[in-house]
Structure formats: structure tokens, C-alpha cells
Amino acid sequence: MHEGIYIAASAGLKQGKKMEVIANNLANVNSTGYKRDRLAFKELMPPFPPDSGLEAGRNELLPPDKSNSNVSYVAITDQYTDHTPGSLRETAAPLDLALNGDGLFSILTKEGIRYTRNGNFRLDTANRLVNQKGEPVLSKEGQPIVIDVPGAEISFDPSGNIFAGTGLVNTNIGSIKLVKFEDKRNLEKLGDGLYRQNDPKAEEKPTDAIMRQGYLENSNVSSVEEMTDMMATLRLFETYQKMIQAIDSMDDQSVNNIGRVG
């Protein structure tokens, strides 16, 4: 089979992967605190190195020893998350919190500590501050935050300190744990706005992010940009598809014409 078909098919598969990423971004355009994903592409020349990126440098359609060293394939070298902050929207709900700056809330799950930018919190039946799945938000001491102050007004300052009172006299009842990581590349998305730190050596750092009460962070996905990117990706996919059809047609004509000459 003509290697051009393999090259076009390989590129088409990469565009299909990009379409999946774009579709997932669009599906989360209204998800609080969501960060969009991106792919990095590069040209890959056979013979492929054993560690050249996300796909380990392997063309999944044609083995390296059967590839022409004078041609190039499309490779996905990285899938990464864009941690650019989203805009803030006002909700006026006292337990809705947003971070303005580089920072993360700490959440205690059954699998361990996870991190999030989604500050859509509530109180559970035990008066613990929890996310929408009922998982506790952690204090600076690493413990679930309990706000058991019936009838009191709850307020938060920009540093994450929690106060309860009537407005005239307020008592500090704790502080929310806000952290950041120097290298965000090891933060793995888990769904529901949660991240897991995959680097056991990574240390939680204090953050100077400002916490805003009564606000939530929008996703950083631009629907216009994603739709434009989707249309461009679709056109590229169709181009590769037409290339495959054209090469296949030429091969078919060559076989038939040679047969008639013989």
C-alpha cells in the first residue's frame, strides 16, 4: 500500500484526537473553574526515537522499519492543561468562593487530598463546609472545616479566614487552606473540577491569591475560539480523507492500466 495513505491516515487520527479535546472543552464551557486542554503537535521523521512524546514516537499505522526516512508524520508530543484563570461571576451566595490569582482549594476525598478551583461549596448535615459531592474542604490545619454557628452571618476575608457573627462582633472560627504548586504539569484532571498531584516530591506552597466571597470562577474556555478551532480541525480531517481517496484512486488506476497493457 502507498505510504502516503499511512501518512494521511496518521495525520487524520491526530486531528480526530484534537476534535475530542475540543469537544470536551466545549462540553465544559459552563463548568465552574474548568481549565481547557490543549494538544502540542510536531513533525516526526522516521526512524522514530523510542521516547519522542505522548505516543512514544510510534506511528500506530506503519512500523518504523517500513517507513521511508524521507517522509514525515504528524506526532502529538503533549496534552496539557491551560491554567489561565477564568473570569469571576457574582452569585451573592455566602458559601460561593472564587480565587483571584494562582491558588487551589484543598479537598479531602476517599482517595486522599485533591485540589480544585471550583468554590461552589455548601454546609452538610454535620455543618461541615463541603463541595457539591459532599467532600470536606480542608482548613490550614488539614482538618475538615466545621461551621456550627446557628443564626450567625458567615463571612470570609481575602486571605481565607472565616468569621461568624452578627456584623457588629465577628469571631474568627478558622481558615481555608489555599495552596499552589510551582509546576502544574503534574496536576492530573480527575473530573468534577478536581486535580490530583502526581509528583510525590511536589510541595504545597502558600499562595497570595485573593479569595472572593459570593463569586464563582467561570471556565477559561472561549466558545468562539473553540468553535473556530473545531471548524479548522474538521477541514484538515476532510483534506486528509480526500488525500487518501485520491491516492487510492491513483493506485487503482495504475493496477488496471498495467493489467490492460499486459
Residue 183 sits in which domain range?
88-217
135 & 237 share domain: no
Contact 189, 81 (CB under 8 A): yes
Work out how many domains the chain is built from and give that number. 2
65 & 155 share domain: no
For the stretch 24-81, pLDDT in tens is: 999 999 999 999 999 887 766 665 555 554 444 444 455 555 555 556 667 777 888 9
69 & 167 share domain: no
207 & 229 share domain: no
70 & 184 share domain: no
Question: Which three cell numbers, joined as nine digits, stand for 240?
Answer: 486528509
Burial 218-232 (b: 16+ CB within 10 A, else e): bbbbeeeebeebbee
Q: What is the pTM of this model?
A: 0.80
For the stretch 172-211, pLDDT in tens is: 999 999 999 999 989 999 988 999 999 988 999 999 999 9
